[in-house]
Structure 1
Amino acid sequence: MTSTPHRIIIDCDPGHDDMAAILLAASHPAIQLEAITTVCGNASLDNTTNNALRIVDAFALDVPVYRGTVQPLLHRYDFPAEFHGPSGLDSSGADLPQTSRKPGNKHAVQAIIDLVDANPGQITLVVIGPMTNLALVFALRPDLAGKIKQLVFMGGSTGEGNVTPAAEFNIWADAEAARMVFRSGVKLVMFGLNATHQTLLRRQDIAAVRAAHPGTNAVADIMDFYCQTYYRFAGADKPGAPMHDPCAIAYLIDPSLFTIEQLPGEVIVADTETYGQTLIDLRPQDPAHDTRNKNVGVAIKADAEGFARLVTQGLIWGAGRISTQS
């Protein structure tokens, strides 16, 4: 565990597991949440920004939200409403309240640049949606790669994808942007499907969130919608649903939850079936003769039990916080 809080910006497209990641970050003393920036991905930018504002308002978080990019650099696709619902944050029961809160008056790209410029070497970027905002940051200011402490992201895979056989959604949604980030020189830590599929929110974890705050419980209902959707796709026999995005926050709180290997990584942008693949070079090499550019720290293994305890605590905190605001 760290004694000095990680100062972070969460760049996201909420999203059920984005909400879980935000709650984990806001609830834990190891994290100082400086800003939330939004991007299109799980839903349109209007919806992801509205969802971020609803999260901030519902849980009374003292953090600004900045609206980011409306569409990917080149890629175009239909937003995946079948998984997160039309709003991007649908619920099986109680919803988060609507909000009149507005985003900050800066574009997300400028907000990131300004925060990093003002705090060189101190800001960690946690990217849990497509990388469009960050690609534009590095296009405008390539020197910021050396001023960012690290960029921890959920995306990609060392093996199979989920939106295609080769590609995971966050990278596939804007592979050109991801390729720019992979080549930027920033310190990268990757939580791909190979690791996040080890980290489950189980039925007993949602039950614990309900038991901690009986009655109306929007947090449990929102996470239940996400898990039930996963079971419809993957099978009702599954013990839980992968909690992809909170992995990036959990790693900052307790790095011992994950095994990380430094490896070469690239993003495929060719207009073929491999578009959006993260090509991670897993081949063993003699260290004395290994000249590869090992540009990505890749999560390989996860402590599933430790992760579930940590995320459940964050969700319980959130359920209690929203109940005190209502």
Structure 2
Amino acid sequence: MTSVWVDTDMGFDDLWALRLLHRHNITPTGVSVVAGNVPRDVAIANARGAAQAFDLPLHLYAGAERPLQRTPETAERILGAQGMPTRGRSLPQVAGETPPDAVTALADWLLRSPVGSCTLLALGPLSTIAQLVLQAPDAAARLGRLVWMGGSAGPGNHSPRAEFNALGDPHAADIVARAGLPLDVIDLMLCRTVTFGTQDLPKSDPLTTDLLGGYLDIALSRGRARMAIYDPVAALALVAPELFEFAHKTLHVSCSEDDSFGETSFAPDIQSRCRLAVRADAGVAARILAVLAES
């Protein structure tokens, strides 16, 4: 039986991804929280609030507090100080101490599990995963599958050439790309084919309705009628890979400190253990939205 771990920077679409796993009866062995959309402490607070608000059994761990080398880059100018745009409501505030170290827990999880039986879903910059590769390579090599929402086979969204999760820690993404892990990449281009608009909003509880509306407002405030769905697409690719078409590729990440910083490029390579999702079935957006509908 596959065991799942989630590494997240805990914005709204991360929460949506976790709820998708929950709806599919998957309880992650651990949820590590990494700096990304917001500083790590804010993301941990979001995770605690989400767990309480939606009755999610999240076993939290402290992931990487900052990128391996670069100056931290957040998405607060787009997503706000909490990393979750809203229409007035917010997650509850839940006090707690800093969770235990994620890399130690990840290594222990992998070493005590059968080789190939563990799947890791990464929804933010790959800082925590790169630390695992560097500090516990024998444990990392036991992974059965790493699914990452990140990178772009085309233009970027946080710079003209780089997607946010790749730009957030290019050095970490480069380390993971070179590690030879069984990596499935759900990139920006794929996610931009999975969208929703006002007419697609499901009937849900007041907090979910508010947060989903705030997420949609990212697009509406920029004159776009539809918003791309990101992290839940990666979660669905984990749960139902048959809904996606993958192509074997070699992933290259630019760590050059110029306008290519964080750029990801993919070259066909049938021998590569890295796969890029190149197509999603037409019904994927509806399946993902249904996760948030009232039962």
The 8 Å contact of residues 36 and 73 in structure 2, kept in 1 or not, is answered as: no
Structure 2 CA distance for aligned equivalents of residues 57 and 148 of structure 1: 30
Counterpart in the other structure of 2:106:
112
The 8 Å contact of residues 53 and 103 in structure 1, kept in 2 or not, is answered as: no
Residue 284 of structure 2 is aligned to residue 307 of structure 1: yes
1:127 is aligned, of 117, 122, 128, to: 122
TM-score, scaled relative to structure 2: 0.94
Residue identity opposite 1:249 in structure 2: A
CA RMSD, 1 decimal: 1.8
The 8 Å contact of residues 121 and 238 in structure 2, kept in 1 or not, is answered as: no
Post-superposition CA distance 1:152-184 (Å, at most 9, x none): 000001111111121100011100000000011
Task: Give the superposition deviation at 1:307.
Answer: 1.4
Counterpart in the other structure of 1:10:
6
Listed as ranges, the gaps of 5+ residues in structure 2 are none
Residue identity opposite 2:220 in structure 1: Y
Post-superposition CA distance 1:12-51 (Å, at most 9, x none): 101111111011111113x332111001110011101111
Residue identity opposite 1:7 in structure 2: S
Listed as ranges, the gaps of 5+ residues in structure 1 are 283-289, 321-326
Task: Give the superposition deviation at 1:123.
Answer: 1.4
Structure 2 CA distance for aligned equivalents of residues 24 and 87 of structure 1: 22
Task: Give the superposition deviation at 1:109.
Answer: 1.3
Counterpart in the other structure of 1:23:
19
Residue 39 of structure 2 is aligned to residue 44 of structure 1: yes
Residue identity opposite 2:171 in structure 1: E
Counterpart in the other structure of 1:253:
239
Aligned residue runs from structure 1 range 63-78, under 5 A: 63-78=58-73
Structure 2 CA distance for aligned equivalents of residues 117 and 169 of structure 1: 31
Structure 1 CA distance for aligned equivalents of residues 32 and 43 of structure 2: 10
Instruction: Give the direction of change, closer, same or farther, for the CA distance of 1:201–1:35 in structure 2 (3 Å limit).
Output: farther
1:269 is aligned, of 237, 252, 255, to: 255
SS at match of 1:157: coil
Structure 1 CA distance for aligned equivalents of residues 28 and 203 of structure 2: 23
Task: Give the superposition deviation at 1:296.
Answer: 1.5
Which structure has the larger Rg? 1
Task: Give the superposition deviation at 1:103.
Answer: 5.0
Instruction: Name the stretch that deviates more: 250-259 or 270-279.
Output: 250-259
Counterpart in the other structure of 1:294:
272
Post-superposition CA distance 1:76-113 (Å, at most 9, x none): 14422122211112311222211134453x21111211
Identity value in percent: 30
The 8 Å contact of residues 130 and 172 in structure 2, kept in 1 or not, is answered as: yes
Counterpart in the other structure of 1:151:
146
Post-superposition CA distance 1:100-159 (Å, at most 9, x none): 34453x211112111111213221000010000010001011122321111000000111
